[in-house]
Structure formats: structure tokens, C-alpha cells
């Protein structure tokens, strides 16, 4: 994705978990939708509001309802993780310098805290709402992504 440092794999796999949980009927369409999203997120998000919209890849596949939203939410969460990781690198460098000076314990690692997981969940919920999901479904998207991130730690 050109405008983001988030890995395509993170976005697709995170969004796939959301779709599998909340809209499994969309899974047959998920791969073509995700490929189209990775090429042009704005187009896929814009097309989802048009009834009968098809992917611009030459494949006559009607765009699923949740898949583009899940991809966009996963992108937002992934970008926040990248931003947090950048900050952790700075802190890690400071810790390494402290360790070299004998001030820090070896093996100290920066981890995502429960509070940060909650913040990422809220970001996911807000982004899902911005993209038109009802509150209940937006909260479910946030819960699934938070649980997925927590298991990945």
C-alpha cells in the first residue's frame, strides 16, 4: 500500500478474521476484494456504497459489505501499531544505552499493554463507525481485532 507502512499481510489477515467471524458468507469474495483494496483502497471503499458495484480488476464480483470496512479498519489499527513501534524503537534505543551504562536490566522488552490494546480497539470501533457500520457491529469488529492482537503478543 503506497500511503502506509503497514504490511499488506497484517491488513489482509486481520480483516479476514473479522470477516470470518462476522460475515462468513463474504469469505468467497474476500480474496478478490482484498487484492482490489490493496491496489486502490479509496476506490474499493467508494464503490461499496454503490449497489451492484464490481471490482475494477476485470473480475465481475460484487463487492462485499463488511470486507472493505474490515480492511480499512485493519489498516488504521496497523498504522497505529507502526506508529507505536516507532516510539518503542526510540525507547528501546534509550534502554540499550542505559544497559550499556549499567542502568537497565538485560532482556527488558517493550510490549503492548492492555491499555494500548484497549486504545487500538477504540480506534477500530471509531474507524468502523466512520465507514458506516452500526455501533454494535463496529464494537464487534473492535473486539475481534483486539483479541487477535492480544493472541499475537
151/60: higher pLDDT:
151
- How do residues 39-86 score in pLDDT, each as one tens digit? 999 998 887 654 444 445 444 444 468 999 999 999 999 988 887 776
Place of cell 494500548: 116
Pairwise CA distance, residues 78 & 76, whole Å: 5
| 114-130 and 135-151 helices, crossing angle to 10° | 140
**For residue 62, what pLDDT is reported?**
44
pLDDT at 2 over 50: no
pLDDT, position 112: 77
Q: What is the mean pLDDT of residues 92-115?
A: 56
In the structure grid, which three cell numbers stand for residue 62, read together?
Answer: 460484487
Report the percentage of the chain scoring pLDDT > 70: 67
pTM across the whole model: 0.73
- pLDDT at position 87 is 62
Please give the pLDDT value at position 152: 73
Q: 37's torsion region: left (phi>0), alpha (psi -120 to 50) or beta?
A: alpha
| Residues listed for the chain | 153
Place of cell 451492484: 52
Q: Are 80 and 87 in contact (CB under 8 A)?
A: no
Rounded to the nearest integer, the mean pLDDT of the chain is 78
Q: Is 70 exceeded by the pLDDT of residue 4?
A: no
pLDDT at position 48: 66
Rounded Cα distance between 147 and 140, Å, is 11
Count of alpha carbons within 13 Å of 125, Cβ hemisphere only?
Answer: 13
Amino acid at each position: 500500500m503506497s500511503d502506509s507502512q503497514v504490511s499488506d499481510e497484517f491488513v489482509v489477515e486481520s480483516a479476514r478474521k473479522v470477516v470470518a467471524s462476522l460475515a462468513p458468507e463474504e469469505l468467497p469474495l474476500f480474496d478478490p476484494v482484498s487484492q482490489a483494496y490493496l491496489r486502490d483502497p479509496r476506490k474499493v471503499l467508494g464503490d461499496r456504497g454503490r449497489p451492484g458495484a464490481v471490482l475494477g480488476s476485470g473480475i465481475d464480483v460484487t463487492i462485499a459489505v463488511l470486507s472493505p470496512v474490515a480492511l480499512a479498519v485493519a489498516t488504521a489499527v496497523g498504522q497505529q501499531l507502526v506508529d507505536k513501534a516507532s516510539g518503542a524503537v526510540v525507547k528501546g534505543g534509550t534502554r540499550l544505552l542505559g544497559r550499556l551504562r549499567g542502568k537497565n536490566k538485560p532482556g527488558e522488552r517493550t510490549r503492548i499493554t492492555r491499555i494500548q490494546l484497549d486504545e487500538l480497539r477504540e480506534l477500530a470501533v471509531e474507524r468502523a463507525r466512520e465507514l458506516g457500520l452500526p455501533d454494535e457491529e463496529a464494537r464487534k469488529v473492535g473486539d475481534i481485532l483486539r483479541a487477535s492482537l492480544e493472541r499475537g503478543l
